Chain A
Amino acid sequence: MFSLALRTLRFRTGGFIAAFVAAFLGAVIVSACAGLMETGIRSATPPHRLAWASAVVAGQQEFEMRKNSEKPKTQAVALSERVRLDRSMADTIRAMPGVSTVVGEVNFPVSLGKQPLVAHGWESARLPGPAPRADEVVLPAASGVPVGSTVDLAVQGSMRQYRVAQVSDRPDAFFADNVADQLSGHPGTVDYFGVVTDNPAALQLGSGVSVLTGDERGLAEFPEAQASGGRLIPLSGVAGGLSLSVAVFVIASTLMLSVRQRQRELALLRAIGTTPRQLRRMVLGEALVIGVLATGAAAALGPVFGGWLFGQFTSGGFISPAVQFHQGWIPMIIAAGATLLAVGISALVAGFRVGRIRPTEALAEASVPRGWLTPLRLILAILCFGGGTALAIVTLAVMTGPIAASTAGPAVMLWAIGVAMISPGVTKLTAILLQGPMRLFSGVTGWLAITNTRNAATRVAGAVTPIMLAVGIATANIYLQTTTTAASAQSFAEDLRADAVVAGPTGVSPEAIDRIRHADGVAAVSTYVSSRAFITAPFDENQTKKGYPALGLTDATTNAATVVKGNLADLKGDTIALPDAADVSRSVGDSVTLRLGDGTDRTLRIVAIVQERAGAEQLLLPAELLAGHTTSGLAKQVLVRAAPGVDQARLTQSLTAATAGLPVSVGDRSTLAAANAKNDETGAWVNYLLVGMIVGYTVISVVNTLVMATSRRRREFGLQRLGGFTRGQVLRMAAGEGGLIAAIGILLGTVVSAGAIVPFCLVATGRVLPDGPISIYLVIVATAVALALVAAVVPAWVATRTRPVTAVATGE
């Protein structure tokens, strides 16, 4: 049967191009996603400054947290801030066998004019020459400052003068070691140690300390790279899985179409003694040849596409550029396996149909259309709709706030698959419903278009399904994103009771805060620090793996939280205000133990219980307490509330005047909102990229399906022309059908996306309709219509170019 499959493939190349393109795209996308996943799993972050160190000793960035109160099971959770090590550990490390050099390093921000620099102690520069004295600095040669001159540097929010002792080829600034220790904001501790040793395996430093070697070393230097794996793995998994399921859809439908096209031929094979099994094997053989060819062609392009995607992620700020892209042979194997599997599944689906072809169809004058609603379709449709409904109920009943988006993605797929299963029926129904309106607008061609659509619902459904998928997925994903962004911006604005913000990249000094407080038109001033923390005792059932966002304030009137109990004015020293959502059975006056972002445990007295918006609960702490446990160790932002009657412009003006000469900048509310939105932007961007990928894929299948469906109707068009149709009428009829297909696809796609969006919006914003410009939807609709029209009219135009008699004689 295999050689017959090969012969058929060669003879009917055209009919199989669609399946090839679909499988090829699937293989490329899956290979790229697998490459991104490999990158995420490896998280290879080669060191830059620490390239000389054979090992890096750093604090453990994760700890084991109990999962629930009953069982002793724990899970590893990541800490959000840098876990520092005591400087004295250097001696312990030096005493280990094989160790020759140990250098403790600190990182802190300084700025030279407008240019931000990272500063370290001289020891970690490992440069020749004398160490800088206490009032000296070593600057990058690229800064253009002459040696021996005196420069103004912004350090810890103040301007200080240093003499330039040396310039180096490094991009960083270096201070005397003891000066750096003081300026780092956390004297006595270092960020990590670079170690030169013959025997990295012998570095045994106990719990709480990790020894990084090889490509892991860079993780200490670039802590933001740590999150890359956590972002890339789920992202690539979702994108790869989604495009694979779309691939199965597309390949199965193209194979099915090619089977239907040669139904008579297959029936003849059955009549002359081919068993259903042999026919199925033939279809599988054809499909596998296509799959192998497609995978082979994709082998070269997969890594290129993966690298390009990765480039987009790093330049968009979603992934740290310190992470290295890695696409070895494993992703290719995965892509090949997954594609062949997808092709195999599609062939089985198509073969299922082949097996049921009756041999008598070879003898019949015309093949009788069979019922499309097979038990398999019905069961799948019921399962999918059930799943979609269940997800909607879960979303409405359990989910709060932005997390609700996590159920929306799978919900779209479930609704889409469910509708695809019953699409012939739905197509027919919709065609009947559109009959009236269509007749009003067009004459005989419109009537014929609608009759064709109604009577060939199964064929038409093949074209409707991809349009439905594209419209559904695009609409759902884009509006989910815009709604999430809008909801987040809305809640940020609601939570923030500030009219201006003063920010300093090296911190805001107490002097600056004092000046701001006394500036004209200022009602309240609060330092603003954000981090994350875990409640470790007593056990909090409501706490997730990510802990709670923690907000450090010096004046709680800049926050919108409603106090349920206690008083936020008492938020000073070792105190905390808990959201009422925390399930800890403690109240005002009791203590809770927190593990702060840098892994330090602090027991704090509860001074207030506050009520916050569902899904946006956060812990409120004194700014000073929280700032000491962040990576930067500094408060970099100050919130300012205007006195009554003072407008934004006047406030900004007075703040600018008050902070003149200090290394800070004054912004209004929108500056903070924009900074907050920037965080969402990366997520949005990734989402749009995914949508683009999947929709592009679906678009190709729409064109494929329509082109295949139309070119095989050459004879039908020929007959119509012999029967008195002009060429223009045939084209108008084709356009009518294309428009109808677009209309049905858009209608169904909108319904599908609504199945996911509406529950989400109800939870996230309390409204039925998503936030976001209507123009996006209009663009999606216009694209779908244009696509369907082009794909319907162009092949009809080509098919009617030959004389009708020839077209009729050529047959099917």
Chain B
Amino acid sequence: MATGEAVRLESVRKEYGRVTALDGVSLSFPRGGFTAVMGPSGSGKSTFLHCAAGLDRPTSGSVLLDDQELGKLSETQLTKLRRDKIGFVFQAFNLLPALTVEQNVVLPLRLAGRRPDRRRVAEMLGHVGLSDRRKHLPGQLSGGQQQRVAIARALVSRPAVLFADEPTGALDTRTAGEILGLLSESVRGGLTVVMVTHDPVAASYADRVVFLADGRVAGELLRPTAAAVAERMTHLGAWADRTPVGGF
């Protein structure tokens, strides 16, 4: 029974020892949407991403990914689900230095034991504009190029959701724009993108922005502009300052 939601979090709590990182977060991400998750440092953005992507298990509450309850899966099942349904793009490009661009891109398919489709790989590399860099090692590429390889790798297995963790954090403004353009282009192709960022400009590429503060959802903005997001963030910062976390 397919619903219109790619990812859904229900009252998710995550505690690290005595620190509460997520305090009952309920959110849903529609298919084919590009959502940016924003918040000041320590707001629980990263924890949210880890839990939503099945990289970490919440202390309580449930996460549904493509209508599948993650809490019931074993570590290996979870890994296989990640492999099939999720793509990742991280801030620090995270390519395997020993593998060429092409080998990095096909890696998820090979891990899944699938025969890499040459046409699909060529198409993905063409999509990110790196057709002529197939045989290069990551060390021989610029930061933006490496991030484009990471996007190609994330998209190659046709995932349901792409999670991006500060994908432009290490890039200059122009290169960042290219990367974000690539992501929103993918969304038009039917992909769901969830991006964690603290950059209002990056967030403005999304069609919806969710704000987190102190591990709780602190608001939402549809069809954002960079200015609106920045203003909201400033308020959030002030709001966070007034309300001390966990009785510190």
Given A360-B50, A360-B56, also A7-B79 (CB < 8 A): no
| Given A358-B56, A363-B46, residue A273 in contact with residue B97 (CB < 8 A) | no
Stretch of A275-283, A493-501, A529-537, A776-784 that contacts chain B: A275-283
Contact mask for chain B residues 67-104; partner A; CB cutoff 8 A; 1 contact, 0 none: 00000000110011011101010110010111100010
Q: Within residues 253 to 280 of chain A, which ones have a CB less than 8 A from any CB in chain B?
A: 264-265, 268-278
**Is B96 touching A268 in the complex (CB atoms < 8 A)?**
yes
A10 lies within 8 A of chain B by Cβ:
yes
Closest to A6 in B: B98
Q: Are B98 and A271 neighbours in the complex by a CB distance under 8 Å?
A: no
Q: Does A441 contact B (CB under 8 A)?
A: no
Residues of B within 8 A of A10 (CB): 98
- Residue of B49, B88, B99 near A272 (CB, 8 A) is B88
A278→B108 CA distance, assembly (Å): 12
Task: Report the separation of the CA atoms of residues A7 and B97 in the bound assembly, to the nearest whole angstrom.
Answer: 10
Contact B111 A359 (CB under 8 A): no
* Residue numbers in A under 8 Å from B108 (CB-CB): 272-273
Instruction: Report the separation of the CA atoms of residues A8 and B154 in the bound assembly, to the nearest whole angstrom.
Output: 21
Residues on the A chain within 8 Å of B110, using CB? 4
Taking chain A's interface residues, is the majority helix, strand, or loop, or is none over half, making it mixed?
helix
Interface contact B50-A363, CB-CB below 8 Å: yes
* Chain A count of residues within 8 A CB distance of the other chain: 24
Report the Cα distance A271→B91, complex, angstroms.
14
A12 CB within 8 Å of chain B: yes
Q: How many pairs of residues, A versus B, come closer than 8 Å at their CB atoms?
A: 74
Find out whether the CB atom of B76 lies under 8 angstroms from the CB atom of A272: no
Residue of A whose beta carbon sits closest to that of B81: A273
* Contact yes or no, A272 B111, CB < 8 A: yes
Shortest Cβ gap from A782 to chain B (Å): 41
How far, in whole Å, are A731 and B98 apart by their CA atoms in the complex? 31
| Distance between A611 CB and nearest chain B CB, rounded to angstroms | 69
B55 touches A360 (CB 8 A): yes
User: Is A273 within 8 A of B90, CB to CB?
Assistant: no
CA distance A7 to B100 in the complex (A): 10
Residues of A within 8 A of B83 (CB): 272-274
List B154-204 residues whose CB lies under 8 Å from chain A: 154, 157, 165
Contact indicator B79/A273 (Cβ below 8 Å) = yes
Chain A positions within 8 Å of B86 at CB level: 273
| In the complex, residue of chain A having the shortest beta-carbon distance to the beta carbon of B95 | A268
- A145 and B90 CA atoms in complex are apart in Å by 95
Name B107's closest neighbour in chain A (CB-CB).
A272
Report chain B residues within 8 Å CB of A360: 50, 55-56
Q: Is the CB of B96 within 8 A of A274?
A: no
Q: How far is the CA of A362 from the CA of B89 in the complex (A)?
A: 11
Do residues B55 and A278 form an inter-chain contact, with CB atoms below 8 A? no
In the bound complex, residues from chain B placing their C-beta under 8 Å from that of A277 are: 76
Q: Which of A8, A271, A278, A363 contacts B82 (CB 8 A)?
A: A271
Contact of B112 with A by CB under 8 A: yes
Q: Which of A347-405 contact B (CB under 8 A)?
A: 358-360, 362-363
Chain A, range 1-55, C-beta contacts under 8 Å to B: 4, 7-8, 10-12
The answer to the question of B208 belonging to the interface, with a C-beta cut-off of 8 Å to chain A, is: no
Contact with B along A265-305 (1 / 0, CB 8 A): 10011111111111000000000000000000000000000
The answer to the question of B153 belonging to the interface, with a C-beta cut-off of 8 Å to chain A, is: yes
User: Contact: B82 with A276, CB < 8 Å?
Assistant: no
Contact B94 A7 (CB under 8 A): no
> Smallest CB-CB separation from B166: which chain A residue?
A363
How far, in Å, is A14 (CB) from chain B's closest CB? 13
List 9 contacting pairs A-B, 8 Å CB cutoff, sorted by A.
A4-B99, A4-B110, A265-B97, A268-B90, A268-B96, A272-B111, A275-B80, A359-B82, A362-B90
Residues of B whose CB lies within 8 Å of any CB of A are 46, 49-50, 55-56, 75-76, 79-80, 82-84, 86, 88, 90-91, 94, 96-99, 103, 107-108, 110-112, 153-154, 157, 165
Binding site for B on A (CB under 8 A): 4, 7-8, 10-12, 264-265, 268-278, 358-360, 362-363
